[in-house]
Chains A and B, each alone.
Chain A
Amino acid sequence: MPIRERNQDPILERMIAAFEGDTATWRRATRSLRDAIADHAVRAVPYYRAVVPPGTPFDELPLLTKRTIRERLVELLAEGVPEGRRFRDDTSGSTGTPVTFYRDTTQGPLENISSERFFRRLWGIPPEAHTIQLTGRLVVPSGEPPGRSLLRRRGRETPQPRSRTVLNIHMTPDRLGRELQEWKDFDPYLLLAYPSMLTWIAEQIEDRGLEVPVPPLAVVAMSETLSPGVVDRAARVLGCPVHARYSSNEFSRLAGTLPGSLRYAFNPLLAYVEVLNDDGAPTAPGEVGRLVLTDLNNYVMPFIRYDIGDLARVSEEGWAGGFRIVEEIMGRTTDVIRLPSGRLVSVITLHNILFRTHHFEPYIDAYQCAQTAPNAIQLRIVWRRAPDDALRDAVVSAIVPFMDPDTRVSVTDIPQVERLPSGKGWVVRREF
């Protein structure tokens, strides 16, 4: 699909050329950029000098883990790069204790501006659209240094789009009603939100019959795993397409969903993507593995083969031009349950069981699934109406065939779903 744009951003132009170009050509380009950052790391970073023998092929470099970063932070900083370029940040803590790391201030224009522009064009969102962002963080990590002005159009006098940020914790039912009315002043606008917040908003609108005077042009989900159920519901209630972007504090805006799907396209100018199995070998198309990313632009603290803690399924199709396609991001490794047989249970698995194979939507408002022992699953459910034992048994019966034969499945009633300290929600997790 050609993306046409009048702009003067050379990096965006390259992204567009990569999306529309020849896969083999752009795979070479990404690999060459990958090798260039690895070359920099091996020359300038004490950690890599210590652990990487000269001449080591890229795919034999050790995986970088959060634990390594925590224990060897100083050794991971590149020598000779001015300290003024270091941008300190922490992980959100979704996967455990937050980890401190450094990004490169020069990444801001690439990732936060060009990449955002690219995906907005892909999703058909015009540059003049305003942004409503519902977020769990008090300070939105910008990573946008003063240099971003380099990539702005010179002499452009047109008004800049406005943005409005609302913290999730402030979003009460009353506040939502007022917000929906006020958002019409932002027409046209894009709504950025966590999937859990989208679910809540959709539910409020449906249950209370709230009016949406001006629907958003599109919804972009971020931060949490997006399930098909959330997409369907948000699209129906808000009357617009729902997309998702994949980002993290460590990498920013690396990937976005292809329109009409939950398949993520990874930007080949920003990251080199691998999906590896437990042996560290690339997974076959269709299989699930760990998502391992190499940042192509952080020259301050190179992230080489970083195990970001997410699971992904490699696409059979493989590529959209030079953009690597990941069929599905199944969420954090902590968002996926592995049963003793090796069977994986993800939010998407559960969604399909509860709402597509069976039809519990009239009964279940929200749920969380905890693995409380190696072979025990507890489904915690916020009910729409008071359940009886028959309904609980029906849910258990629906779930059991998709677990191991001897998995214990139970159902517990809860008044509301639990949230993480970062404000994010979770759907599936291991608790032992």
Chain B
Amino acid sequence: MPIEDENVDPIYQKMVAAREGDPETWGRVNRALRDAMVDHAVRRCPYYRKVVPGHGGFRDIPMLTKEIIQENFDDLLAEGIPEERRVPKRTSGTTGEPFAFYRDTSQGPMEYISAQRFLKRSHGVTDELSQVWVTLRPPTSAPDGTPLRSRRLPWPPRRRGRPTLRPVPTLRLTSDRVRKEVREWPGLGRYFLYGHASALHRIAEEIEESALPFPVPPASVVTTADNLTHHMEALLARVFRAPIHSWYGSHEFNGYVAGTVPGTRRYVFNPLLVHAEVLGDDGRPARPGGTGRLVLTDLNNYVMPFVRYDTGDVAVASDRPSGGWPAVEEVVGRSSEVVRLPSGAIVTPAALTYALFTAGRLDPHIRVCQCAQTGPNRLELRVVWRRPPTDEVRTRVVETFRTATDPDTAVSMRDIEQVDRTPSGKTWLVRREIG
């Protein structure tokens, strides 16, 4: 779909040209930028000088992991780049202990402005739309990097001459707060919803269960941060009566490196920001339709190059790019959110929610749930019930849950009051809890 825009941002224009262009041509551009970053890394970073083979290709470069970053922090910093360009950052801790790293100040215009603008245009979010931003803590800056002047500003802060930005903190999402928010959103005029998938799901659920009036739907809903399952997506679409999109990013790469193709769960990766790979356990590219680790190379961080960085996410490989934007069929979730049974079978958030809600139709009983692997072949389903369940419902839930596991997997169930969250405020659906 051509994206017409009269703005004058040269990086954005290249993104548009790439989206509309020939995949092979733009694949070459992407690989050329990748090789240029590797060239920079090998020349400037002691770590890469040490580990990049002299005559090998890009695929011979070892993956960069969080552990390697922690152990080789100083050796990953590029020599000769002024220290003023270092932006200290920390990961959210979703996949383990938070760790520190640096981004490059020069990335800002590309990622905050151009890339976000591109995703907004792709997803029908025009400049005049106000934004409801459902996030862990009240922000100190807008998504485009514009600083909000003070936390003491009237709530919500209003950017002069711009549409309203209304932050909604997820930690205060009580029923009363949801009611208040929903009541006030029509006053924003035309708006879109942006935020954690789990938090948006929570709001949608409250609206539906309490039959709250929702007269003014958003122009668009954009989820980010935690995994959006098919089940959650269906609820969001039903309640918000708007197209549901998702943006992919991380603290290490920023929030706009990929977005879903409208109407699908396929993510396309911005070829001017990252080089994306989906690698199997053997380190080779996964076949189309196969699941593997999502490995990204940042094309613009000249301060601390991230080359072949294991994001900790699992994706389904694709051979269907969108113009020059390479795609993955789906981001399944964090690798820590995929558990592997002794048979080799995996249980993913998507598989779990499909079994319970799509096939099992257990929505009327289960509010939310989490699945923990407590032994090699033992899974525990932790459930927040909508209402106290009968024995018959419990049995049905366990039997339905078992359809997502191996036949010999030991399955148990436990009632919980609320779901567990990571320190960053994200929720999880499936995780391994054995050493």
Contacts and interface: CB of A to CB of B under 8 A. Distances in A.
B363 interface: no
Contacts of A105: 8
Interface string B190-225: 000000000000000000000000000000000000
A40 B2 CA distance: 13
Interface in A271-321: 297, 299
B241 interface: no
Nearest to B79: A2
B363 to A, nearest CB: 44
A21 B4 contact: no
Contact of B21 (A9, A26, A39, A147): A39
Interface string A6-18: 1111111110011
Interface stretch (A29-37, A163-171, A186-194): A29-37
Contact of B25 (A17, A32, A109): A32
B36 A18 contact: yes
A32 B28 contact: yes
Given A6-B82, A110-B10, A150-B113, A35 B2 contact: no
A58 to B, nearest CB: 11
Contacts of A107: 10
A331 to B, nearest CB: 30
A151 B107 CA distance: 11
Nearest to A29: B32
Contact of A20 (B25, B29, B35, B43): B43
Interface in B133-179: 145, 147
A4 B6 contact: no
Interface stretch (B11-19, B92-100, B260-268): B11-19
Contacts of A25: 32, 35-36, 38-39
Name the prevailing secondary structure of the A interface residues: helix
A36 B26 contact: yes
A404 B65 CA distance: 70
A147 to B, nearest CB: 3
Given A17-B40, A29-B32, A106-B8, A6 B85 contact: yes
Contacts of B147: 155
Size range of the chain B interface in the assembly:
35 or more
Interface string B39-59: 110010000000000000000
A155 B147 CA distance: 10
A290 B4 CA distance: 37
Given A18-B36, A28-B32, A36-B17, A80 B4 contact: yes
B169 to A, nearest CB: 26
B84 interface: yes
A35 B25 contact: yes
A109 B28 CA distance: 24
A182 interface: no
What are the nearest 4 A-B pairs in CB distance? A147-B8, A29-B32, A84-B6, A32-B28
Given A12-B106, A17-B36, 4 more contacts: A17-B39, A21-B36, A106-B8, A297-B10
20 contacts: A8-B106, A10-B110, A13-B302, A17-B36, A17-B302, A21-B43, A25-B35, A25-B36, A32-B29, A36-B17, A36-B28, A36-B324, A39-B25, A39-B26, A43-B21, A80-B20, A106-B10, A108-B10, A110-B10, A146-B8
